[in-house]
Amino acid sequence: MSPEIGLNHYLLLGALLFVCGAVCMAIKRNAIGVLMGVELVLNGATVNFVAFARFNPTFQVEGQVFALFVIVLAAAEAAVALAIVLNFYNNHTTVDVDTAEELKG
Amino acid sequence: MELNTLLFYILAAVTGFCAVAVVITQNIVRAAAWLLFTLAGTAGIFFLLGADFVGATQLLVYVGGTLVLVVFGVMLTAQGPFVSMRVGAAEWAIALGVGLLLYGVLAVTLIQFRGPDAAQAGLAEDQLPGSVVLGQALLGDRLASPAGNVTGIPGTGYGAAAGLGAASAAPQVTVRPRERVAYLLPFEVVSVHLLVVLIGAAYLARAKRRRAPAGGLRPGEGGVSA
């Protein structure tokens, strides 16, 4: 690997964030832990967007604009998900995702 | 070693280590703290990439807003002083295997991927779009990337008019005259979306009133707030 920091270095970092988020979503019992995994996945995607904006001249504005949209939508998603978690906690007095099986067929 | 290289390795190490720590910690409050450092490190990566406005937005919205929201969620749903939900050893082993496998696949694909090289395609520091350019792109006042063809409007561009075939579709540095393409509509859609999310979250998380068994509250009885 070249000593010069290129696109691939940033993409590898984004992939690491994505994998951490995916594993976090899979193994956390706490609903808020699952939400943290989603935030990590979205951050990995944002790192990729900004890295492409830096290293690809045809994408220099689009990458940053998409990154801004991802950040804003992640904030909105966190707000709604926390509202749902609070509602679930009010009804069941737990945030364990394994107990959320009322809709199971 | 160049300063940018050193900074990248420091920031990447901090971000990656904190991201792994978010996964492996059992305590949800500590996971929130590690997530804070991960997000701050990502903001540092954005500054390093020359995306000042995105980095500042990351700090303001994510670290300042979303994470505070998450910490409030942790506090409001805590049963004890230290919420921890145990994960069994077999689940850890499966998660480790799947995670390493997934990262291996991604890393091998990325190393084989020949993207634009930093030396030939990277932009100089003074060519990077600043926040003025971003604002103009969001407001529809300016074409997006001048060299870009990502919006994919066929046939009307400079390349088609000048007789350049599709074979020479490599990044053209010439400014193409084309329709005004910018991000005013997604900007408006996102703003309406935020309004909907605001109302929806307030509706979902409101304090509920317990219904009387006969259905509906009789006047004067009042509900007991849950």
Closest Cα partner for B191 from A57, A85, A76? A76
Q: Does A92 touch chain B (CB under 8 A)?
A: no
End-to-end CA distance of chain A: 51
pLDDT of residue B7: 92
Q: For residues B74 and B215, which has the higher predicted lDDT (pLDDT)?
A: B74
Do A27 and B31 count as a contact with CB atoms less than 8 A apart? no
Section B174-196 average pLDDT: 76
Nearest to B66 among A78, A85, A95 (CB): A78
With a cut of 80, say whether residue B73 has pLDDT above it.
Answer: yes
Determine the residue type at A43.
Answer: N
Shortest CA gap B220–chain A (Å): 26
Give CA–CA dist B225/B211, Å, rounded: 10
With a cut of 60, say whether residue B146 has pLDDT above it.
Answer: no
Q: Does A42 touch chain B (CB under 8 A)?
A: no
Specify the pTM: 0.79
pLDDT band for B144, please (50, 70, 90 cuts).
low
What's the gap between Cα B12 and its chain centre? 17
Give the angle B24-B26-B30 at the CA atoms, nearest 5°: 90
Do B54 and A67 count as a contact with CB atoms less than 8 A apart? yes
**3-state SS record for B96-124:** HHHHHHHHHHHHHHHHHCCCCCHHHHCCC
The pair phi, psi for residue B225, each rounded to 5°, is -70, 135
pLDDT of residue B172: 47
pLDDT band for B210, please (50, 70, 90 cuts).
low
Percent residues over pLDDT 70 in chain A: 96
Tokens of B208: 């509920």
Q: For residues B72 and B172, which has the higher predicted lDDT (pLDDT)?
A: B72
